[in-house]
């Protein structure tokens, strides 16, 4: 008999697991590219279709609403049908819709296609996080998951640099053609090579032959196994599906605090990504320079790897809470640095490092918080409900500009969200202290 997580822990990270990592990383990379693309093309879109900044808010928020819907829907689906099929379907959806939005002829068509794009994007990221978490060793789970999650800010940042080159040569539509075509090509690779989560297969009592074949790709010693079992460090909620687990008495406070922290983090991120280029242009920077400075903000997400290492060594909830507290300070600093280009570049990058580190680490925190039966729903609902913060952030900055807040005043208001996120995670850490390893589990075989 093989205990699944013990088996994964005892063997080196195999080539099979690296392939899973690279495919998930690519999904998250394209997810970040397509999510952030609208912010980089916004000034060109406003110019071509003769729309003002407040009129752009519904367009900016259409994809975010789709993101929320897709994530909330995809979580329970992945807990019922598995991680593989919903993940591949989501990549196809956002690839096709993003590609199609390049050919929109008016604002209504574009808004509708951005909503559909958001549905695919929203379903993809939480499923990729769940998949990677379930193929990772315990001692490196947060590090590996955060490293994969770095694909999102890197994709968003790359989108900014690419947009700065593409728009002068091919217009804003060229950015969306690239953003849609690349995931469509990736979906072909996924269809032929992407596996199902082995933890999901065991939890759902799939045939032992399939489980054995999958584990044998990690290490050949699994080829002779006759049965499999799986234990959980997270408290089990017997006989309940994903939604019931997330909303159960054992998990409800933690769920609410995860949603609140993720919500507030996205208020900062989308308020900044969607509006920073426009605000810097209004503050006097040339469009190309404003775009390049804005592209530094999501690039900061590479700090999530270091944060993941800290999360694997210390209390992960408190580690991320500190990141959010420092985020609040740095976001306020962005608003004070607009008159000094060198200082502005530095502060934007530091603020990006902090907020994207915190936000990129949240999926690993959620994946480790919930048991396998509820992991897909737990991660997906955090993304889905938290995505509403992206909508709130976009409308918040739009309203602040309507009320003629100064550049510094806008970022002073946005910075408050970082403090709220830090407090929410401290509440979670108090109510849900780390479980002792092995104090709960599923001792009986769940596949044989």
- The predicted structure's pLDDT at residue 91: 92
Per-residue confidence of the chain (448 residues) as pLDDT tens digits?
A: 778 778 888 888 888 889 999 999 998 888 888 777 777 787 777 777 777 767 777 777 787 788 888 888 888 888 788 888 889 999 999 899 989 988 888 888 888 888 998 899 888 888 888 888 888 887 788 888 888 877 877 787 777 778 777 788 888 788 888 888 888 999 999 998 888 888 888 877 788 888 888 888 888 877 777 777 776 665 556 556 678 788 888 888 988 999 999 999 989 887 887 777 777 777 667 676 777 777 777 665 567 777 777 887 888 889 999 999 999 998 898 878 777 777 877 888 888 888 888 888 888 888 878 877 778 888 888 888 887 887 788 788 888 887 778 877 888 898 999 999 999 999 998 887 765 333 333 333 444 4
- The predicted structure's pLDDT at residue 33: 81
- The structural domains of the chain, with segments of one domain joined by +, span 2-447
- The predicted structure's pLDDT at residue 440: 33
- The predicted structure's pLDDT at residue 301: 56
pTM of the model as a whole: 0.73
- The predicted structure's pLDDT at residue 77: 84
- The predicted structure's pLDDT at residue 233: 61
Which residue in 292, 278, 262 sits closest to 365, CA to CA? 262
- Record: fold of 2-447: Growth Hormone; Chain: A; (1.20.1250)
Q: What residues are paired with 447 via a beta bridge?
A: 228
- The predicted structure's pLDDT at residue 69: 86
How many whole angstroms separate alpha carbon 349 and alpha carbon 295?
Answer: 9
- The predicted structure's pLDDT at residue 22: 92
- The predicted structure's pLDDT at residue 443: 37
- The predicted structure's pLDDT at residue 448: 42
């Amino acid at each position: 008999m093989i205990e699944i997580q013990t088996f994964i822990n005892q063997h080196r990270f195999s080539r099979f697991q690296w392939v899973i990592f690279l495919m998930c990383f690519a999904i998250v990379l394209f997810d970040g590219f397509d999510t952030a693309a609208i912010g980089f093309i916004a000034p060109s879109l406003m110019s071509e279709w003769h729309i003002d900044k407040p009129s752009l808010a519904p367009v900016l928020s259409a994809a975010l609403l789709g993101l929320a819907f897709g994530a909330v829907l995809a979580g329970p689906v992945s807990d019922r049908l598995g991680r593989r099929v919903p993940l591949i379907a989501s990549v196809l959806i956002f690839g096709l819709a993003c590609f199609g939005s390049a050919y929109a002829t008016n604002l209504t068509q574009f808004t509708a296609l951005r909503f559909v794009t958001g549905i695919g994007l929203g379903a993809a990221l939480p499923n990729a996080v769940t998949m990677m978490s379930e193929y990772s060793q315990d001692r490196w789970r947060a590090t590996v998951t955060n490293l994969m999650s770095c694909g999102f800010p890197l994709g968003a940042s790359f989108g900014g640099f690419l947009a700065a080159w593409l728009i002068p040569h091919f217009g804003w539509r060229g950015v969306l053609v690239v953003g849609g075509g690349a995931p469509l090509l990736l979906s072909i690779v996924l269809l032929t090579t992407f596996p199902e989560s082995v933890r999901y297969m065991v939890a759902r009592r799939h045939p032992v032959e399939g489980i054995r074949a999958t584990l044998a790709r990690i290490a050949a010693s699994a080829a002779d196994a006759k049965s499999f079992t799986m234990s959980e460090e997270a408290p089990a909620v017997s006989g309940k599906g994903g939604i019931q687990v997330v909303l159960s008495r054992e998990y409800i406070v933690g769920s609410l605090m995860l949603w609140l922290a993720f919500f507030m983090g996205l208020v900062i991120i989308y308020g900044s990504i969607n509006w920073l280029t426009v605000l810097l242009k209004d503050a006097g920077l040339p469009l190309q320079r404003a775009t390049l400075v804005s592209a530094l903000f999501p690039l900061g997400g590479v700090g999530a790897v270091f944060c993941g290492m800290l999360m694997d060594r210390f209390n992960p909830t408190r580690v991320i809470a500190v990141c959010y507290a420092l985020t609040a300070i740095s976001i306020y600093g962005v608003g004070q640095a607009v008159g000094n280009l060198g200082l502005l570049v530095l502060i934007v990058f530091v603020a990006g490092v902090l907020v994207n580190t915190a936000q990129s680490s949240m999926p690993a925190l959620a994946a480790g918080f919930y048991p396998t039966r509820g992991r897909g729903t737990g991660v997906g609902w955090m993304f889905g409900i938290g995505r509403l913060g992206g909508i709130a952030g976009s409308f918040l900055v739009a309203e602040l500009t309507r009320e003629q807040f100064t550049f510094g005043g806008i970022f002073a208001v946005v910075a408050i969200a970082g403090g709220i996120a830090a407090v929410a995670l401290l509440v979670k850490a108090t109510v849900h202290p780390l479980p002792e390893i092995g104090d709960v589990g599923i001792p009986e075989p769940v596949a044989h």
